[in-house]
């Protein structure tokens, strides 16, 4: 190889190395902490974590929770052996007929559907409008559901964004799912929730709830 070509090749390799080192230096280190979300109801507490691989949904849920948006909302739709759904702002008012309908011109969240995130027991997923009006499968701005079927609901995999997992309180989901309800699957007694967020070390969350990061 001619001398000039060798020098050029060495310079290229050196620049590539510098670029790689700089990129590695800028990359944020994985946090040793995570947010633990607690949903409190009259039937008990549900604790869950949200996935970093669905950052839009995680950030949105935490923002709503920390702003106390969810306080006073209810689990307005329950279907045994399937799921329980809540988080609609309409469920705060005194008109049960509009629960689940969402707000006019409500913003949506782009889908973050990932093949490795499944609808297993205790999965946290985002509700959305059907494909016929929402082919991009964008998620509701606030409504979410918790999978109650102990075998999961795999037919929903790839259809809705799963963005978290319940780590404690699976029995509470069961209790919610079996509440007496009307013909719209709305519980006859309001199941109001309050939601709080606390930051804990991931190691602590694993020790307390057996969740593996």
The full set of domain ranges for the chain reads 33-209
Note the pLDDT of residue 45.
Answer: 98
Beta bridge partners of residue 112, listed in sequence order? none
- CA–CA gap between residue 161 and residue 181 (Å, rounded): 27
Phi-psi region of 59 (alpha: psi -120 to 50; beta: other; left: phi over 0): alpha
Note the pLDDT of residue 8.
Answer: 47
pTM: 0.85
pLDDT per residue of the chain (213 residues) written in tens, 0 to 9? 554 455 444 445 444 544 444 444 455 677 899 999 999 999 999 999 999 999 999 999 999 999 999 999 999 999 999 999 999 998 888 877 777 677 777 889 999 999 999 999 999 999 999 999 999 999 999 999 999 999 999 999 999 999 999 999 999 999 999 999 999 999 999 999 999 999 999 999 999 999 999
Note the pLDDT of residue 100.
Answer: 66
Note the pLDDT of residue 123.
Answer: 98
CATH T-level assignment (fold) for domain 33-209: Cyclophilin (2.40.100)
- CA–CA gap between residue 107 and residue 105 (Å, rounded): 6
Note the pLDDT of residue 91.
Answer: 87
**Under 8 Å CB-to-CB from 14, ≥6 apart: which residues?**
none
Gyration radius of the chain's alpha carbons:
22
């Amino acid at each position: 190889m001619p001398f000039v070509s060798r020098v050029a090749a060495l310079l290229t390799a050196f620049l590539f190395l510098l670029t790689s080192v700089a990129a590695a230096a800028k990359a944020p280190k994985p946090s040793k902490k995570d947010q633990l979300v607690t949903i409190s109801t009259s039937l008990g507490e549900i604790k869950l974590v949200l996935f970093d691989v669905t950052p839009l949904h995680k950030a949105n849920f935490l923002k709503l929770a920390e702003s106390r948006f969810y306080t006073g909302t209810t689990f307005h739709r329950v279907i045994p052996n399937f799921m329980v759904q809540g988080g609609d702002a309409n469920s705060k008012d005194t008109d049960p007929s509009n629960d689940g309908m969402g707000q006019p011109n409500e913003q949506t969240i782009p889908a973050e559907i990932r093949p490795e995130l499944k609808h297993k027991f205790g999965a946290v997923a985002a509700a959305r409008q059907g494909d016929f009006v929402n082919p991009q499968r964008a998620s509701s701005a606030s409504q979410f559901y918790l999978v109650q079927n102990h075998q999961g609901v795999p037919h929903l995999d790839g259809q809705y964004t799963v963005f978290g997992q319940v780590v404690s309180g699976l029995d509470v989901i069961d209790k919610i799912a079996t509440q007496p309800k009307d013909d719209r699957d709305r519980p006859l007694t309001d199941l109001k929730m309050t939601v709080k967020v606390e930051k804990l070390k991931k190691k602590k969350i694993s020790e307390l709830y057996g969740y593996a990061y």
